[in-house]
Amino acid sequence: MKLTNETLHDRSFWEAKGYRLPQYDRAAMVEKTVQNPTWLHFGAGNIFKAFQADACQRLLDAGLHDTGIIAAERREKKPEANDNLTVKVTLKADGNVEKAVVASIAEKVYLYGNEARLKEIFENPSLQMVSFTITEKGYALYDGKGELLPDIAADLAGKPEDAKSYMGKITALLCARYLKNRAPLAMVSMDNCSHNGDKLKAAITCFAKAWGGEGFNNWLAEKVSFPWSMIDKITPGPDASVAAMLKEDGLEDGTPFVNAEECEYLVIEDNFPNGRPPLEKAGIYFTDRETVDKVERMKVCTCLNPLHTSLAVYGCLLGFDKIWKEMQDPDLRKLVETVGYKEGLPVVTDPGIIHPKDFIDAVVNVRIPNPFMPDMPQRIATDTSQKLPIRFGETIKAYMASDTLDVHDLKLIPLVHAGWLRYLMAVDDAGNAFEPSPDPLLETAQAYVKDFKLGEKPDTAKLEGLLRNAAIFGVDLVEAGLAEKVCAYFTELTAGPGAVRATLHKYVSE
């Protein structure tokens, strides 16, 4: 069976296989969306298809909205053969699977190749929101040395109509809307980065100041919003076992699909000057900017990211190849439970709309243990030096500032720091060498442990320069009073093969 508009009419085939199907007149929805678009999305990847597009579909199914989404990608990769339809497969931790045909994408356009159609969409006053999942790099203006990227510099020196860079082309489209009707608009980054709306605004403002007059810049400031958002949903690349499942159902090879976990969170600052779809009725949270920030900090500093990094460091040292397998290990499970519940929760700010304990409960009991989620500790260990200051440093700072908590009571967060030092030696607990994941400060940090060998007591005084590096740890660990504990743990972790397991078990069992 081929996935197309025509084959969807054979509802008995799909329903017999357990697929949730669209409950609306798709042809009418497509026609109305093309004529009067309300939502344009850039970056139609896995998370968009599994989350935002499905949320829109639920509104359409319930009769709460009558237009879909126009999805924009960079360039056309191959001719569209499935009428913009996608199969969404939700992989649940209890082993159950839910399948749905997502049909809310009414049209696909391409940033490079469909400029005229994109201009037409932006000029339509019906357009309420333009959203993005293009990764944080999509908003970058500068290289690692603080110099403008070549395509950005070239665009800034030219004219809007000749723009080649992503953000340059987006700004040119905004300029077209300003010149046509000055209608308000929300530009909504839904990328997984802190204060994402500000990153999008900064990129567009850079071009606007170079290209636009006072009127255009005033319109951007007064009529165009850049809400913050927090998104969280794991959508791994298409898994071969899922492809085999679809084939067994009778679908042809190559049927487009996304596989994703069941949990999902999208919290958006409710700042939409031209209105918006009622996405709160599809489970998306709308709130103020301060609350978005609290949810972001709750996730990144306490309830998810620190647990992932703890598992990544020790998973690499103990030879694990999947994060979910680590949650079957009693020592590693106790490690993340203590880091999250005991050491993190006392200082987290409750955002109100999502309770921190409920969030951790889902992470520990549903999300990380899900065997369908093929994430690897080696991937999560990437850029650890950039993650430590936010994922653990903010908690340490909160303890240091507290009148009722003692930073010296932290036990397992320092053990994670010591584990990372042990990881820098690039030798696992069995004594075998491994290749550390990419990290911009890997070489710098490894220089502090280059003289250490398993089975030999390390001269931990050599670690002081690294432990004092607040850019890595978020605080000076010596001044925080935690360096001595980290060094003591590190000494135990390097005692010889098997010392990582022995040390971990010792301290999580206390």
Distance CA 217, CA 197 (A): 17
Q: Could you read off the pLDDT of 102-157 as tens digits, one per residue?
A: 999 999 999 998 999 999 999 999 999 999 999 888 999 988 788 999 999 999 99
What is the chain's mean pLDDT, rounded?
95
Q: Could you read off the pLDDT of 406-458 as tens digits, one per residue?
A: 999 999 999 999 999 999 999 999 999 999 999 999 999 999 999 999 999 99
In which band, very low, low, confident or very high, does the pLDDT at 79 lie, cut at 50, 70 and 90?
low
pLDDT at site 237: 79
Evaluate if residue 194 carries a pLDDT over 90.
Answer: no
Evaluate if residue 66 carries a pLDDT over 70.
Answer: yes
Distance CA 380, CA 313 (A): 9
Distance CA 165, CA 162 (A): 10
Q: Could you read off the pLDDT of 46-65 as tens digits, one per residue?
A: 999 999 999 999 999 999 99
For the segment 268-280, the average pLDDT, to the nearest whole number, is 98
Evaluate if residue 214 carries a pLDDT over 90.
Answer: yes
pLDDT at site 146: 85
Other beta carbons less than 10 A from residue 146's beta carbon = 6
Domains of the chain, by residue range, sit at 5-287, 293-508
Q: Could you read off the pLDDT of 288-321 as tens digits, one per residue?
A: 999 999 999 999 999 999 999 999 999 999 999 9
CATH superfamily of 5-287: NAD(P)-binding Rossmann-like Domain (3.40.50.720)
Evaluate if residue 265 carries a pLDDT over 90.
Answer: yes
Q: What is the pTM of this model?
A: 0.89
pLDDT at site 244: 94
Contact 103, 58 (CB under 8 A): no
Answer yes or no: CATH 1.10.1040.10 is held by domain 293-508: yes
Distance CA 356, CA 341 (A): 9
Q: Could you read off the pLDDT of 338-377 as tens digits, one per residue?
A: 999 999 999 999 999 999 999 999 999 999 999 887 789 9
Contact 217, 208 (CB under 8 A): yes
- Helices 499-508 and 412-424: crossing angle, nearest 10°? 170
Question: Residue length, the chain?
Answer: 510
Q: What does the DSSP 8-state code read for residue 430?
A: T
